[in-house]
Amino acid sequence: MSVIDADGHIIEPEGMFDHLPEEFHLRRPIPVRLPADTVRGDFNGCWLIEGKSVPNIGSRGRTTASISWTERSKKIDVSLGSQTLADMEARLSDLDRFQIDCQIVFPTMFLAAVAEDVKLEGALFHAYNTYVGQACARSKGRVRWAALLPFRDPEAAVQEMRHASDLGASGIFTMGMVWERNLADPEFFPIYEEAAGLDLPLCVHLGWGSPQVTQLFSDSHAFFCSAIVPVMWGFMYTMGAGLLTRFPKLRLGFLETGSAWVPYAMQQIRRRVKPQTVLFYQGQRRPVDNAIDRRYYRDPEEFFRSGRAFVNCEGDEDFDYLLKHVGEDGLMCSSDFPHGDPSAEENYVTRWRERNDIPERVKEKLLGKNAERFFRF
């Protein structure tokens, strides 16, 4: 049984930005090293981008990110070369340690909207894709990645997607919101059409994609409220717009948010598509939800059961409940390695294999077969 880790991460190194186009060199992210005796403790570093710290080291608009030069990164049981993919042999050794055959890598510092200037954002994403693509090429197929695209410039996003596809990308990355825009924005449709044509799935990952939303929170609940919950918004908008019907070859996945919310979200959207559901407003009958495009809408469960929609599940969830409502063909597993947040589960392979409450057939799908179908293998 092949094990595919559907969600690992890279901790971006300073050298990544050597790949920036020359005209953006003076605007490159600047690493800032902080004293270790501040309120941030051993998370003593940030990037300076457009005059702002990434992650945000203030109180309101809180974000988090691991950074390779901090005391925190030096203390964990993972070499810096493995964290940054600079030492691919070290990363492969770590995968062997966790019985993982292949890992899909997602960003860390770019789990937040970091550049308001879309041209700068596109240049940063190009540098990321180039660095990670070259690093993954040294893994002989064992480490793959999801490409970053400047969604707010669809033409540039399509060009960057082609560049990333040529480098071997296995998917395209987005968060649940793209700044102030939802994922059903028609301006994004050329991106989805190109992704379908290139056989690249759309990976909706947790992250602080909307600065307006992120700014609402000032405590540790911000991780859930402004990074996780927007993935659920992404589900509602993509399913409501019928993206998987509009683009019949597109695949859609929801990553690092658990999966127990999916049946609830499906139940909520079903209530909104009932033909008899109307709203009385100033004496007129109007549809309750104009975000549902009835020409293209199909029940989301159909897509999870047919291998078009996927979600990452976690080991402490109710699997009888999930299998009943989502089915066994749309669930994947992941380690979140080398992060240390609530989704991290480095030894998940051993734990899943030791479970006796799930049939072996289902275990094989969860540990690898479903991810193999979702990503470009």
pLDDT (tens digit per residue) in 318-377? 999 999 999 999 999 999 999 977 778 888 999 999 998 899 999 999 999 999 999 988
Alpha-carbon distance of 125 to 174, in angstroms, equals: 12
Mean pLDDT is highest, among 120-124, 289-293, 352-356, for: 120-124
pLDDT category of residue 224 using cuts at 50, 70 and 90: very high
pTM for the model: 0.94
- Cα–chain center distance at 268: 23
Question: What does the pLDDT read at residue 285?
Answer: 46
pLDDT given for residue 53 in this prediction: 93
pLDDT at 92 over 60: yes
pLDDT digit string, tens, across residues 267-283: 999 998 876 445 554 55
Residue 267, burial from CB neighbour count under 10 angstroms (0-12, 13-18, 19+) = exposed
Q: For 164-205, list the strands marked E by DSSP.
A: 171-174, 177-178, 181-182, 202-205
Span 220-247, average pLDDT? 96
At 277 the pLDDT is 45
Average of pLDDT values for 292-308?
A: 96
pLDDT at 74: 84
- Provide mean pLDDT across the span 155-166: 98
69 — pLDDT class (breaks 50, 70, 90)? confident
Q: What is the pLDDT of residue 132?
A: 98
Is residue 59 very low, low, confident or very high in pLDDT (cuts 50, 70, 90)?
Answer: confident
DSSP, collapsed to helix, strand or coil, labels residue 19 as helix
Q: CA–CA separation, 223 vs 61, rounded Å?
A: 10
User: What domains does the chain contain, in order, with CATH numbers?
Assistant: 4-374 (3.20.20.140)
Residues 183-216: pLDDT tens digits?
999 999 999 999 999 999 999 999 999 999 999 9
- pLDDT of 1 reads 72
d(CA 362, CA 367): 9
